[in-house]
Structure 1
Amino acid sequence: MEVINIAELEDYISLLKSKSRSESTTQQSKKIIQNYMQRFGSLEVSKKEVYIYYKELEKKLAISTLYSHIKILRHFYHFVSNENPNINNPFARFKPRAPVRKFVRVLYEQEIHSLYVRMLANNRISNYQRFLFDFIYATGMKPSEMQRLVLSDFDFIDGSIVVTGDNGSSRYTFYSKSLEPLILNHLEKRQSMLEQQHLYHSSFFINWENGLMIHGYIIYQAITAIGKELDMKLTPSILRHSFAIASLENGWDNRYIQTLLGHVSILTTQIYEKVEINSKQNTIQKYHPRGKKS
């Protein structure tokens, strides 16, 4: 029986940090794996033992928390078994029921327009922050995906971008003509910064303090800082959801939106249909004569 080496956990945590996971997410993953280690003390755990462990957690945790626990352990084992093929992953085929997402915060087109006007009027919000805002809303990309972008991922003729997802898979997304001048302006400033720092690399997004590749958490913080300035909740996920809703309202097929966002399952994408339906129902009840309450 192979005893877990603490170095394996540290290597895994280093991997999470390299993918720009937030500090809270990284520490949560570490704590969950450490608890698992204390429970079994070995990587060689049978599927039956995993099932018993799952049932124990099921009595203590909410569905969403339980799902998060198992997802983290599955990912950890995937990492370990790739490093050492002799170790079996008991979570490989263990797929607990995902929690139902009851609420997705989105901004509709009119809200986005109003928000942008407010951003332009606020001199504490930088041009770069607005560019990041525009980029996420126009492409639906995650900060971790933006971090991995290199110059060769862009096709400036047809306006397409090759996106590398968190699981290593690749997909195409496209940007509109309105984003093109902002991208070109960014490239000019980027080139100037790299020349000043005597650097040469292909990362598209850079850290303006040192010219090196940017980390996803900096992008995340830049967007949340906009929200704080405007006294509202704003995250990259909200802009990503808003991109999906805007696409759906413009008649795009759910399968196409699934591809653009990199969703593995169409069920994840279908949540946006429910959001749109609920929005229309609320609008009817608010404004339609037969929808108003007497």
Structure 2
Amino acid sequence: MSKLFNNYTHSYFAYLQIEKNSSVHTIKNYRDDLEQFFMFMNEQHIKKVEDVTHQDARLYLTGLHAQKMARASVSRKISALRGFYRFLMREEIVMENPFLIVHRPKGTKKLPSFFYEEEMRELFETVQETDALSIRNKALLELMYGTGIRVSECTGLTLTDIDIDLGIILVRGKGGKERYVPFGSFAAEAVQSYVELSRPTLMKNANHSMLFVNYRGGPLTVRGVRHILTELIEKASLSGKIHPHMLRHTFATHLLNNGADMRTVQELLGHTSLSSTQMYTHVTKEHLQKTYMKHHPRA
């Protein structure tokens, strides 16, 4: 990438990492977004970031739509550029933010996929064997469903992050934020069996403190969890595709369906904004409607 790009973005990415505590994934996406915009500047013969006008920002947005880019991707790119120019204003490099009043397209809202309780019971039936991998898979399934943690949070757990006696785990979420999440007796029993019986067998000659490990003893990855869950759903003969986030959706949905309040679910999920948690109310309304149509004699 050009020297111009490096001059302007080096301190910005350091700011994101140190002051904003942004994740590696977020910084990578923002880097890609900014690289694309600097290519646009080059095509338009715009030499300096301070020369970019609101009209240039609108032209760039028009180009993104012309590429038939997904709304969510366009929205993220606009957010990245707004944040970049906000930083430049703070550093007194530019006087105004040309992306401030550019319209961000609203993404199409999809109801999060989740498992019904009967489906969860079928999934748990697939991990009742006593071999090392089945014991690990049961602990993984119980903990993810029992806590609603993100798959990246789960694969990042160490042995010292979990207290089986107290039934609580220390979770490191997005932006490095930490929170404590409780879990129940089913997860406690499954994890204890895994730590005592399965993990030492899987570890072989490996030596590290990560809680969940693969069959070679190395730390389990997000991709590895996805593979495990895909195998479990095929074994359970459930229809559709599974992704690790479905267990998080299922956790939240089942809590709300059984009377949990929104604020508690928000705290358990580690959502900064209540609006992020509110999407699950749409799921529960759908669930209630299906239940009504199935069981009410006058439906």
Q: Tell me what 2:120 maps to.
A: 112
| Cα drift, residue 69 of structure 1 | 3.7
Matching residue within 126, 145, 151 for 2:153? 145
Matching residue within 227, 232, 235 for 2:233? 227
8 Å CA contact retained: 1:226, 1:234: no
The share of aligned pairs that are identical, in percent, is: 26
In structure 2, what residue type is equivalent to 1:220?
R
Work out the CA distance in 2 between the residues paired with 1:37 and 1:118. 51
Work out the CA distance in 1 between the residues paired with 2:34 and 2:145. 35
SS in 1 for 2:5: coil
Residue 158 and residue 91 in structure 1: after superposition, are their counterparts in 2 closer, same or farther (change >3 A)?
A: farther
| Cα drift, residue 245 of structure 1 | 0.8
Residue 172 and residue 52 in structure 1: after superposition, are their counterparts in 2 closer, same or farther (change >3 A)?
A: farther
Q: Does 1:202 align with 2:209?
A: yes
- Residue deviations 1:55-78 (CA, integer Å, cap 9, x gap): 543564443332244456679x59
Residue 114 and residue 216 in structure 1: after superposition, are their counterparts in 2 closer, same or farther (change >3 A)?
A: closer
Q: How many residues of Structure 1 are paired with residues of Structure 2 in the alignment? A: 269
Work out the CA distance in 1 between the residues paired with 2:260 and 2:174. 24
SS in 1 for 2:253: helix
Work out the CA distance in 1 between the residues paired with 2:165 and 2:292. 42
Under a length normalisation based on structure 1, what TM-score does the superposition of the two structures give?
0.73
Gaps of 5+ in 1: none
In structure 1, what residue type is equivalent to 2:199?
R
Work out the CA distance in 2 between the residues paired with 1:154 and 1:213. 16
In structure 2, what residue type is equivalent to 1:37?
F
Work out the CA distance in 2 between the residues paired with 1:208 and 1:162. 25
| Cα drift, residue 87 of structure 1 | 8.3
Residue 133 and residue 157 in structure 1: after superposition, are their counterparts in 2 closer, same or farther (change >3 A)?
A: closer
Work out the CA distance in 2 between the residues paired with 1:212 and 1:267. 37
Q: CA RMSD in A?
A: 4.0
SS in 2 for 1:213: coil
Q: Does 1:213 align with 2:212?
A: no
Q: Tell me what 1:39 maps to.
A: 40
Q: How do 1:200-279 and structure 2 match up within 5 A?
A: 201-209=208-216, 211-229=217-235, 230=237, 232=239, 233-279=241-287
In structure 2, what residue type is equivalent to 1:153?
D
Work out the CA distance in 2 between the residues paired with 1:185 and 1:87. 58
Q: How do 1:4-23 and structure 2 match up within 5 A?
A: 4-5=5-6
Gaps of 5+ in 2: 18-22
Matching residue within 136, 139, 142 for 1:128? 136
Q: Tell me what 2:20 maps to.
A: none
8 Å CA contact retained: 1:144, 1:166: no
Deviates most, 111-120 or 164-173:
111-120
SS in 1 for 2:180: strand
Q: Which structure has the larger Rg? A: 2
| Cα drift, residue 248 of structure 1 | 0.8
| Cα drift, residue 267 of structure 1 | 1.2
Work out the CA distance in 2 between the residues paired with 1:43 and 1:220. 44
Matching residue within 160, 164, 171 for 1:163? 171
8 Å CA contact retained: 2:127, 2:137: no
Residue 113 and residue 207 in structure 1: after superposition, are their counterparts in 2 closer, same or farther (change >3 A)?
A: closer
8 Å CA contact retained: 2:138, 2:190: no
In structure 1, what residue type is equivalent to 2:252?
A
SS in 2 for 1:4: helix
In structure 2, what residue type is equivalent to 1:128?
R
8 Å CA contact retained: 2:78, 2:99: no
Q: Tell me what 2:111 maps to.
A: 103
Work out the CA distance in 2 between the residues paired with 1:43 and 1:153. 48
SS in 2 for 1:158: coil
Residue 150 and residue 91 in structure 1: after superposition, are their counterparts in 2 closer, same or farther (change >3 A)?
A: farther
SS in 2 for 1:217: helix
Residue 31 and residue 231 in structure 1: after superposition, are their counterparts in 2 closer, same or farther (change >3 A)?
A: farther
8 Å CA contact retained: 1:20, 1:144: no
Q: Does 1:190 align with 2:199?
A: yes
